[in-house]
Amino acid sequence: MQADRFFSPDPAQKTIAQALYDAIKALPIISPHGHVDPRLFVEDTYDWGSPVDLLIIPDHYVFRMLYSQGIKLEDLGIPRLDGTPVERDHRKIWQTFADHFYLFRGTPTGIWLRHEFEEVFGITEKLTSDNAQAIYDTIDQKLQSPEYTPRKLYERFNIETLCTTDYATSSLEYHQQIRDSGWDGDIRPTFRPDGIVQVNRPDWRDNINKLSDLTGIDIVDYKTYIRAIETRRDQFRALGAVATDHDVSSREFYRWSNEGMERIFANALQNSSNLDSQETIFIAHTYMELARMSAEDGMVMQLHIGSHRNHNQPLFDKFGRDVGADIPSGNQLLTLKSNFLLNEYGNDPNFRLIVFTLDESTYSRELAPLAGHYPAMLLGPPWWFHDSLNGMRRYFDRVMETAGIYNTAGFNDDTRAFPSIPARHDVWRRASADWLAGLVIRSIIDEDDAHAMAYDLAYNLAKRAYRL
């Protein structure tokens, strides 16, 4: 990989970008939001399985691209819900992957994989049909060596803090075990209450029961439900949690009457799948309560808005969630729909709201103006389909003039692929350096400001945003 990769070609700009990048490239990684499995860090050792177990089966960025070109998920070893056997020959799966590696030309997945191959596994050749098995061997051997345990990689990656994402009903046992183990890595849970808030989910009633068990609070009405959530948040905070996270699809936030909420809750306890329009009210009001809790207990509230989950029903029926079929949808009307929430809590200095979007048309139109006004609100980094070089460029382009960088939350990698974390932060740091160099070369900012901003974007903003 070239030392000046991803920088703009103009030699003068590139020199500035390189200097900015060199000053921040070795900063510790703050990873305040992501989906790494905490089990990785419970013990000194960990069994990664094969290269396919590491790089293909858990990574829907990878296998959805192969699927889009007609390769069956079964042939990539993705497990079926009904237990029908799928391909188990990982060398064959790896060969298929290598044969189609050209599909990733010019994509962020291509960039991350190259980075992982070279920086994590020392492989500098491009993956081809011919060298596929040899590269498989190299990765396979390294995965079994003592330098490649998650804890060792955590240290080698220079991670300062890593936050996972955990259901409200998660036992948090692995987080407890990590703390008990005496290892000094900073792994923190994040409170994700979708399963107890999205009242229409088939598992809602079960989740309420679990919440009762975990908190010792008998949930009999909306009042006890709210108290149980508060208690559960305390339990998360006791294990280091600094934030909550919410997959927001309804995008409505408003308050209902106490009596009304009690009535809906009573109905939901009877049959939560039959609430009709009450569901929207339930969620809208409960988000207001969650915001109130954040204003009180200081946990940062993250809203991830705009994913249409499980768009491909036949695939969902066979393989379940997270198979690359979550598709963004537009028409967010954030300005309108955030009105009640921001009016009630947006001016509160103890409340912090970080908003992520999949609708880039709202960057300059709604999100940057909102974040550039409300003290409580920060704008999260480019998310998911947009955490790429172009996505970052569009984000810098459309957000920063109105919000300034100081109303943004720095970077987070949002990944479940642990070994891709350095690659993702490196892309952000390079993109930041290049953007700032563009401002310097156009005399919009001076080099002193650029250095301060590069440090903030790479490290400080994320730490400050999440109160770490």
Q: Shortest gap between Cβ of 131 and a second copy (angstroms)?
A: 15
Q: Which stretch binds a second copy (CB under 8 A): 188-196, 230-238, 271-279, 370-378?
A: 370-378
Q: Which stretch binds a second copy (CB under 8 A): 10-18, 163-171, 228-236, 460-468?
A: 10-18
- Tell me whether residue 279 or residue 359 sits nearer to a second copy (CB atom): 359
Out of 332, 408, 420, 432, name the contact with a second copy by CB under 8 A: 332
Within 70-99, the residues that bind a second copy by CB under 8 A are 70
- Tell me whether residue 84 or residue 145 sits nearer to a second copy (CB atom): 84
Out of 141, 343, 447, 467, name the contact with a second copy by CB under 8 A: 343
- Tell me whether residue 166 or residue 326 sits nearer to a second copy (CB atom): 326
Kindly report the three-state secondary structure assignment for every residue of the chain. Answer: CCCCCCCCCCHHHHHHHHHHHHHHCCCCEEECCCCCCHHHHCCCCCCCCCHHHHHCCCCHHHHHHHHHCCCCHHHHCCCCCCCCCCCCCHHHHHHHHHHCHHHHCCCHHHHHHHHHHHHHCCCCCCCCCCCHHHHHHHHHHHHCCHHHCHHHHHHHCCEEEEECCEECCCCCHHHHHHHHHCCCCCEECCEECHHHHCCCCCCHHHHHHHHHHHHCCCCCCHHHHHHHHHHHHHHHHHCCCCEEEEEECCCCCCCCCHHHHHHHHHHHHHHHHHCCCHHHHHHHHHHHHHHHHHHHHCCEEEEEECEECCCCHHHHHHHCCCCCCCEECCCCCHHHHCHHHHHHHCCCCCCCEEEEECCCHHHHHHHHHHHCCCCCEEECCCCHHHCCHHHHHHHHHHHHHHHCHHHECCCCCCCCCHHHHHHHHHHHHHHHHHHHHHHHHCCCCCHHHHHHHHHHHHHHHHHHHCCC
Q: Is 379 in the site for a second copy (CB under 8 A)?
A: no
Out of 23, 27, 86, 103, name the contact with a second copy by CB under 8 A: 103
- Tell me whether residue 266 or residue 333 sits nearer to a second copy (CB atom): 333
The count of residues interacting with a second copy (CB under 8 A) is 94
Out of 372, 416, 460, 463, name the contact with a second copy by CB under 8 A: 372
Q: Shortest gap between Cβ of 132 and a second copy (angstroms)?
A: 17
Q: Is 397 in the site for a second copy (CB under 8 A)?
A: yes
Q: Shortest gap between Cβ of 451 and a second copy (angstroms)?
A: 11
Q: Is 336 in the site for a second copy (CB under 8 A)?
A: yes
Out of 13, 302, 412, 432, name the contact with a second copy by CB under 8 A: 13
Residue type, 217: I
Angle (CA) 140-48-26 rounded to 5° is 85
Q: Is 219 in the site for a second copy (CB under 8 A)?
A: no
- Tell me whether residue 88 or residue 105 sits nearer to a second copy (CB atom): 105
- Contact track, a second copy, 111-130, x by CB under 8 A: x--------------x----
Helices vs. strands in the chain: H and E counts, helices first: 22, 11
Q: Shortest gap between Cβ of 436 and a second copy (angstroms)?
A: 8
Q: Which stretch binds a second copy (CB under 8 A): 32-40, 78-86, 240-248, 442-450?
A: 442-450
Q: Is 359 in the site for a second copy (CB under 8 A)?
A: yes
Within 259-318, the residues that bind a second copy by CB under 8 A are 308, 311-315
Q: Which stretch binds a second copy (CB under 8 A): 37-45, 186-194, 216-224, 394-402?
A: 394-402
Q: Is 356 in the site for a second copy (CB under 8 A)?
A: no
- Tell me whether residue 185 or residue 372 sits nearer to a second copy (CB atom): 372
